[in-house]
Amino acid sequence: MRLWAIMRRDLLKLGRNPLTLLSTVLMPIVYLVIIGNSFQGTLKHLPLAVVVQDRGVYAIRMMERLQALQAGPKTIEITYMDNPGAAMRAVRNGQYKAALIIPPNFSRNIAHGLLAEMGLFLDNVDQISASTIEGALQSATGTLRTRFVTAREPKLEEIVLRPSNLFTTVDYDRSLIPGVIVMSLFMGSLMSGVFNWVMDKFMGVTEGYLVTPLSRWEIAGGILASGVTLTSVAAIIVLFTGLLVTRSTIQGGLPALAMLIGIIVIGATGILAMTFALLGRAGHPRLVGTFAGFLNVILFFPSGAIYPVDSFPSWLRRFARINPETHAVSALKSILFKGADFAAVQNDLAFLAVFTVLMLLLASISFKRTL
């Protein structure tokens, strides 16, 4: 009976807080949906820019095979362009994963038994996507010629796809640096910001603020400034540690470093303000810890830090477009691995700036100078 009394008391206490039971049931389901769709086995919807400068029969046949890849396994999404230089610039800026150039006289060279080449310019920073596109196009190229070729025929009669990497090769360990920085931003914003605030409120520390002439804006501003400072310093340490461990350098020198620090500060401010807007009114630190894991999963895994965003289902791609961590990862990758300038990352920076302003407004509305 004593055991039953303790059990009954605990069940009644949990019953008065249905959020606990809801999170226990809902979070594993959300994890299943998010993680399951963030690590699909086959890559799909990889954006490919195609420049066709030949209108012969073999160029048409190549385009039919590309369209079959788009319609069947959906490996690629084709965008036709007229200018090879513009196509390669678009790949450098992250609009496409690769650019395929079919040169003039491609069909004539095949018909005359000469060497026929196509150029494939890859965004090799995303090595998984680059390998997938190269493999799919190599397979399509191998079936262009319909007749049999004997072993004695000259090598000049080959149809060759010439892959070219537009950037310095990025190994797997180095490719994880942007994701690790973003994870540091989230964890730092959480622990130095809202968790610290809720813990102080739970322990009664914040009651001391209420007997001072401090306004809610001064209180919120001081907490925000301390959290952003600590989180930014931690993320910068993670950045340099990651570069040291992987023996990497920052392309672009001091201007690139300044942009990286700017992204880190803006990202830290936006994420910290977001956690305050969502969890600042929580009454117990346990709730913050519970939802922290939930937020980390739904923001980090669809961010493109580990798996290409282009291959997500359509609903998850739409979510990734409004995910601040997606834009932070994209900007960090472009600067670290591609030597991108401000113009190349301005869209990501604009999104992060707008997101930060909106989250600061929401956090200021939710922050009350009360118990």
SS (HEC) of 11-74: HHHHHCCHHHHHHHHHHHHHHHHHHHHHCCCCCCCEEEEEEECCCCHHHHHHHHHHHHHHHCCC
Q: Could you tell me if residue 147 is inside a domain?
A: yes
Quick one: 116 and 215 in the same domain?
A: no
Say if residue 151's pLDDT is above 50: no
Quick one: 243 and 139 in the same domain?
A: no
Quick one: 181 and 105 in the same domain?
A: no
**CA pseudo-torsion sign 266, 190, 273, 271:** positive
Quick one: 127 and 185 in the same domain?
A: no
> Does pTM top 0.85 for this prediction?
no
Across 34-43, 105-114, 192-201, 204-213, the highest mean pLDDT is recorded for: 105-114
pLDDT reported for residue 158: 64
Say if residue 154's pLDDT is above 70: no
pLDDT reported for residue 148: 37
Query: Residue 191's closest CA among 299, 275, 284, 305?
Result: 275
Which pLDDT band, with edges at 50, 70 and 90, does 100 fall under? very high
Q: In which domain, by residue range, is 282 found?
A: 172-366
Q: How many domains does the chain have?
A: 2
Average pLDDT over all residues of the chain? 80
Q: What are phi and psi of 61, to 5 degrees?
A: -65, -40
Quick one: 93 and 212 in the same domain?
A: no
pLDDT reported for residue 11: 61
Quick one: 213 and 316 in the same domain?
A: yes
Stretch 68-87: mean pLDDT, rounded?
91
Looking at residue 86, which CATH number applies to its domain? 3.40.1710.10
Q: Could you tell me if residue 225 is inside a domain?
A: yes
Q: Could you tell me if residue 134 is inside a domain?
A: yes
pLDDT reported for residue 29: 61
Domain boundary residue, one of 121, 147, 165: 165
Quick one: 132 and 216 in the same domain?
A: no
Q: How far apart are CA 183 and CA 189, in angstroms?
A: 10
Those residues whose C-beta lies under 8 Å from the C-beta of residue 250, and which sit 6 or more positions away, are 243, 256, 257, 260, 335, 336
